[in-house]
């Protein structure tokens, strides 16, 4: 039950933030929001306020902010039941930059939520483990020692990629390192220097490692909490797009892909079971971390230029800006419909993949 409650809270907050972004910008630009819904499937309950229907649906995944005239579709009047063409408040009648702002607002609000969550996490002093990218210990016989790095050196970049947190070092080695030497920019005694490091393969962990470790945590205070919150969100963004790169590059297996069921059981459920014995603060921190990652994931995935996603709609809007006129709504609507069908099929595959990973792992 606790797992289900946490799952509903996490998904609910992430989805509401996304759809509220669309909702807020639509209202600000005079676009008629026909329905604002949380969840999918049949309604549990709904009510009409003004010209918008607010709905809570049965399955606690996904949500929608439906605009009048979206995809050029006709609108059915809730009171009379008659079909009417989009009016002055329709999505298509709004200025193109108003529509762009409305579409982008959903992912943007996910990033705002992610930053707020990161800020809360960073302020949980004594619970969250924040480490600066400092080599508190250079391991004897490792690549870092051979390259001349010393205890206390701060890693500034790896092959030109800026490093702000120690966990980004591990992320780089797991997701970006493709073999060969690494150019390491570091800071010692206030001076910046560059060295070339040859990572060594660890049989124990199955990955290449730099040969450094860090066991010292920082406790941000005052304005520095904002900076570290930004670093935490930045890490989640990097982890997301690097993971997408690994997925499209064939470096991620089917077992590594999870949908809502897999996230509920293998991520939320497993995390709750592992952390509950350490107290409510540790549980809360872990769930906030999942919320942070999911919000960033939703923001980035929705910006991909794929039909039916916000990024796909954004492509058509940018084409309209370039051409000076929109693509025929019927044609755009058909493209998004095809994208929607694809995602429905993908959801079915992911659902059965989640069940396979849970019961036959």
Kindly state whether residues 143 and 7 are assigned to the same domain: no
- Examine residue 259 and state whether it is found in any structural domain, yes or no: yes
Least-confidence region, from 43-47, 181-185, 312-316, 324-328:
324-328
Tens of pLDDT, residue by residue over 262-311, are: 566 567 877 878 888 888 888 898 899 999 998 998 999 899 888 888 99
**What is the DSSP secondary structure assignment for residue 326, as one 8-state letter?**
P
- How many structural domains comprise the chain? 2
Domain boundary among 213, 241, 268: 213
Pairwise CA distance, residues 233 & 104, whole Å: 19
Residue 74 confidence (pLDDT) above 60: no
Pairwise CA distance, residues 213 & 135, whole Å: 6
Pairwise CA distance, residues 120 & 115, whole Å: 9
Kindly state whether residues 108 and 141 are assigned to the same domain: no
- Examine residue 38 and state whether it is found in any structural domain, yes or no: yes
What is residue 260's predicted lDDT score, i.e. its pLDDT? 56
Phi, psi for 208 (deg, rounded to 5)? -80, 140
What is residue 83's predicted lDDT score, i.e. its pLDDT? 55
Kindly state whether residues 233 and 98 are assigned to the same domain: yes
Pairwise CA distance, residues 134 & 154, whole Å: 4
Tens of pLDDT, residue by residue over 33-53, are: 999 999 888 899 899 998 899
- Examine residue 175 and state whether it is found in any structural domain, yes or no: yes
What does the block give as tokens for 139? 């391991």
Residue 8 confidence (pLDDT) above 70: yes
If we measure between CA atoms, which residue out of 117, 273, 243, 114 comes closest to residue 174?
A: 243
If we measure between CA atoms, which residue out of 46, 43, 45, 36 comes closest to residue 15?
A: 36
**Percentage of the chain exceeding pLDDT 70:** 84
33-36 long-range contacts, CB within 8 A, separation 24+: 33/65, 33/66, 33/67, 33/68, 34/66, 34/67, 34/68, 34/75, 35/64, 35/65, 35/66, 36/64, 36/65, 36/66
What is residue 354's predicted lDDT score, i.e. its pLDDT? 56
**Mean per-residue pLDDT for 138-142?**
90
Pairwise CA distance, residues 56 & 12, whole Å: 11
Report the mean per-residue pLDDT for the chain: 85
- Examine residue 322 and state whether it is found in any structural domain, yes or no: yes
- Examine residue 172 and state whether it is found in any structural domain, yes or no: yes
**Percentage of the chain exceeding pLDDT 90:** 46
Kindly state whether residues 273 and 327 are assigned to the same domain: yes
Kindly state whether residues 105 and 120 are assigned to the same domain: yes
CA-CA-CA-CA torsion sign (295, 240, 257, 347): positive
Task: Using pLDDT thresholds of 50, 70 and 90, give the confidence band for residue 318.
Answer: very high
What does the block give as tokens for 39? 């969840």
What is residue 335's predicted lDDT score, i.e. its pLDDT? 83
Kindly state whether residues 251 and 328 are assigned to the same domain: yes
Range of the domain at 169: 136-213
Residue 168 confidence (pLDDT) above 80: yes
Task: Using pLDDT thresholds of 50, 70 and 90, give the confidence band for residue 62.
Answer: confident
Kindly state whether residues 172 and 265 are assigned to the same domain: no
Kindly state whether residues 97 and 38 are assigned to the same domain: yes
If we measure between CA atoms, which residue out of 360, 298, 355, 286 comes closest to residue 2?
A: 286
Q: Helices marked H in the chain — which ranges?
A: 2-28, 96-122, 143-146, 167-175, 224-248, 260-262, 270-275, 280-302, 310-323, 329-359
**What is the DSSP secondary structure assignment for residue 139, as one 8-state letter?**
P
Kindly state whether residues 251 and 173 are assigned to the same domain: no
Q: Which residue has the tokens 């860090």?
A: 214
Residue 17 confidence (pLDDT) above 80: yes
What is residue 167's predicted lDDT score, i.e. its pLDDT? 93
Kindly state whether residues 100 and 150 are assigned to the same domain: no
- DSSP secondary structure string for all residues of 65-126: EEETTGGG--EE-TTT--EE---TTSGGGS-HHHHHHHHHHHHHHHHHHHHHHHHHHHTSTT
Kindly state whether residues 351 and 235 are assigned to the same domain: yes
Residue 76 confidence (pLDDT) above 90: no
3-state secondary structure 192-224: EEEEEECCEEECCCCEEECCEECCCCECCCCCH
- Examine residue 309 and state whether it is found in any structural domain, yes or no: yes
Kindly state whether residues 112 and 188 are assigned to the same domain: no
Residue 253 confidence (pLDDT) above 80: no
Residue 359 confidence (pLDDT) above 70: no
Domain boundary among 213, 237, 268: 213
Task: Rounding to the nearest 10 degrees, give the CA dihedral for residues 216, 282, 264, 231.
Answer: -40
Pairwise CA distance, residues 314 & 319, whole Å: 9
CB 175 within 8 A of CB 242: yes
Q: How far is CA 303 from CA 14, 33, 37, in A?
A: 16, 21, 21
What is residue 280's predicted lDDT score, i.e. its pLDDT? 84
Pairwise CA distance, residues 36 & 67, whole Å: 9
**Mean per-residue pLDDT for 223-247?**
88
Domain boundary among 213, 246, 273: 213
- Examine residue 218 and state whether it is found in any structural domain, yes or no: no
Least-confidence region, from 102-106, 316-320, 331-335:
331-335
What is residue 291's predicted lDDT score, i.e. its pLDDT? 92
What CATH number has the domain bearing residue 169?
2.30.42.10
């Amino acid at each position: 039950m606790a797992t289900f409650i946490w799952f509903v809270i996490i998904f609910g907050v992430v989805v509401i933030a996304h759809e509220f972004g669309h909702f807020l910008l639509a209202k600000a630009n005079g676009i008629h929001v026909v329905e604002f819904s949380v969840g999918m499937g049949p309604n549990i309950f709904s009510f009409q306020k003004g010209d918008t229907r607010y709905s809570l649906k049965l399955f606690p995944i996904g949500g929608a902010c439906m605009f009048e005239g979206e995809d050029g579709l006709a609108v059915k009047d809730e009171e009379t039941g008659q079909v009417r063409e989009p009016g002055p408040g329709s999505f298509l009648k709004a200025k193109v930059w108003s529509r762009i702002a409305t579409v982008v607002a959903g992912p943007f609000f996910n990033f705002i939520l992610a930053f707020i969550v990161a800020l809360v996490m960073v302020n949980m002093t004594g619970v969250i483990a924040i480490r600066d990218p400092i080599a508190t210990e250079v391991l004897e016989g490792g690549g870092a020692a051979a390259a001349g790095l010393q205890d206390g050196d701060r890693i500034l970049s790896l092959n030109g990629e800026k490093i702000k947190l120690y966990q980004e070092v591990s992320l780089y080695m797991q997701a970006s390192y493709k073999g060969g030497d690494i150019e390491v920019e570091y800071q010692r005694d206030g001076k910046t220097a560059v060295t070339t490091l040859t990572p060594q393969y660890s049989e124990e962990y199955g990955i290449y490692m730099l040969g450094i470790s860090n066991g010292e945590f920082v406790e941000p205070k005052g304005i520095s909490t904002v900076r570290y919150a930004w670093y935490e969100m930045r890490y989640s963004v990097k982890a997301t797009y690097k993971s997408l790169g690994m997925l499209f590059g064939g470096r991620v297996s089917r077992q590594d892909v999870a949908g809502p069921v897999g996230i509920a059981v293998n991520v939320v459920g497993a995390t709750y079971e592992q952390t509950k014995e350490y107290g409510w603060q540790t549980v809360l921190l872990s769930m906030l971390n999942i919320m942070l990652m999911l919000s960033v994931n939703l923001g980035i995935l929705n910006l991909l230029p794929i039909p039916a996603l916000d990024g796909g709609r954004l492509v058509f809007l940018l084409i309209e800006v370039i051409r000076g006129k929109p693509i025929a709504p019927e044609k755009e609507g058909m493209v998004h419909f095809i994208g929607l069908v694809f995602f429905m099929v993908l959801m079915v595959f992911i659902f059965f993949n989640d069940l396979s990973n849970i019961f036959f792992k």
